[in-house]
Amino acid sequence: MDVSPLFVTTSENATFKYYSGYETLDISPSDVMSAAEYPWKQAAVVVTASGLEVDVQNSGKEAVINLLEKRISIAMKTMANNISTGIYSDGTGTSSKQITGLQAQVAKVPTSGTVGGIDRSVWTFWQNQTLQDGTMSTSTLLPKMNQLWLMCSRGNDRPDLITADDGAFAVFWGCLQAIQRITSDTDAKAGFSTLAYNTASVIYDGDSGHYDNSMYFLNTDYIYFRPHSDRNFVPLERRGAVNQDAFVVPIVFAGNLTMSNASLQGILWKA
C-alpha cells in the first residue's frame, strides 16, 4: 500500500496567451500535474521484561524506578535516533526498507534514479538543485550558498531550513564570527545562540547520517515527514509470552519522507 499520492507540478499551463476582443482562447488540455507515490516504511523496537523484574522487584514499596517506563523511554530514543538516520539516508538500507531519505530525494547527482515513482532521467522537473564547493572554506562557502539559494528560489518560494553536518556548519559559523561586532559592554560574547541565512534557519545535524561536508537547502512547504497517525512512535499493548513469565511491548512506526517539488530543494557539497 502506498502513501497517499502527492500531486506535483510538472510544467506551466501552456494555454496562456494575450488576446484582443473576440479572439478565441486556447482551451486545449494542459497536463501540468503528476503524482509522486511513496511506499510505507515500517520500523519497530521491542521492550522486553520479565514478571520478576516488573511485577516483583520494581513494584509497590520495593520499587526503585518504574522499570518498564524507563525501558520504553530508552526504546523511544533508539527509535528516534534510527529514524533520524533514515531521514538522511538513500533509502536502500535493510533491503530498501529504510525511509526514502534526503540522499535519495535531494541527491548530489539528481539526473538518474526513480524517486516517488518518477524517473528523474526522464522528467527534469523532478531533479533537485545541486552545487559543489571544491574547498568549502570561509572564503568560498558564502558565495556558493548565495548561488544555491538563488537556484532554489522561485518568486516567494525560498528555502526555509538549511541542515549542515559538523564540517559545513563549522565553516559557516566561522564565516559569521569573522564579521561579528560587539555592540554592548555587558553582552560581549563569542559565537551565536542561533544561526540563520537569509530567511532560513541553519541547524547543525552532524550526528544523524548527514553527508560529510554538506548542506541541504530545504523548502519545507514541499517536503514532508509523514508518519501514520496510528504508528507514530506508538507503544502497542503489552503482550505476554505463552510459556514464560515475561512480556514484550513493541513500539512501532509507519510512514515515509515525501516530496512534492524537487526543483526547490538543493544540496551544497564538497567532493
pLDDT 10s digits, 58-70 = 666 556 557 788 8
Q: In the prediction, which pLDDT does 243 show?
A: 85
Pairing of strands 214-218, 239-240: unpaired
Domains in the chain, CATH or no CATH each: 34-269 (3.90.1690)
pLDDT at 5 over 60: no
Are the CB atoms for 64 and 32 separated by under 8 Å?
Answer: no
> Predicted confidence band at 111 (pLDDT cuts at 50, 70, 90)?
very high
pLDDT at 8 over 70: no
**% residues pLDDT > 70 (the chain):** 84
pLDDT at 168 over 60: yes
> Predicted confidence band at 4 (pLDDT cuts at 50, 70, 90)?
low
pLDDT 10s digits, 191-241 = 555 689 998 999 998 878 899 999 999 999 999 999 999 999 999 998 888
Mean pLDDT of 61-86: 84
* pTM to 2 decimal places: 0.82
| One-letter identity of residue 260 | S
Query: Best-predicted range by mean pLDDT among 34-43, 118-127, 186-195?
Result: 118-127
Q: In the prediction, which pLDDT does 22 show?
A: 83
172-175 long-range contacts, CB within 8 A, separation 24+: 172/141, 172/145, 172/197, 172/202, 172/215, 174/138, 175/138, 175/141, 175/142
> Predicted confidence band at 128 (pLDDT cuts at 50, 70, 90)?
very high
pLDDT at 1 over 70: no
pLDDT at 9 over 90: no
What SS3 state is found at 80? helix
pLDDT at 84 over 80: yes
Residue with the three cell numbers 534526503 = 102
Better-scored residue on pLDDT, 111 or 194: 111
Averaged pLDDT score across all residues of the chain: 86
Q: In the prediction, which pLDDT does 58 show?
A: 67
pLDDT at 18 over 60: yes
Kindly give the residue spans of alpha helices, DSSP state H, lying in the chain: 51, 67-87, 93-96, 102-105, 141-151, 166-177
> Predicted confidence band at 23 (pLDDT cuts at 50, 70, 90)?
confident
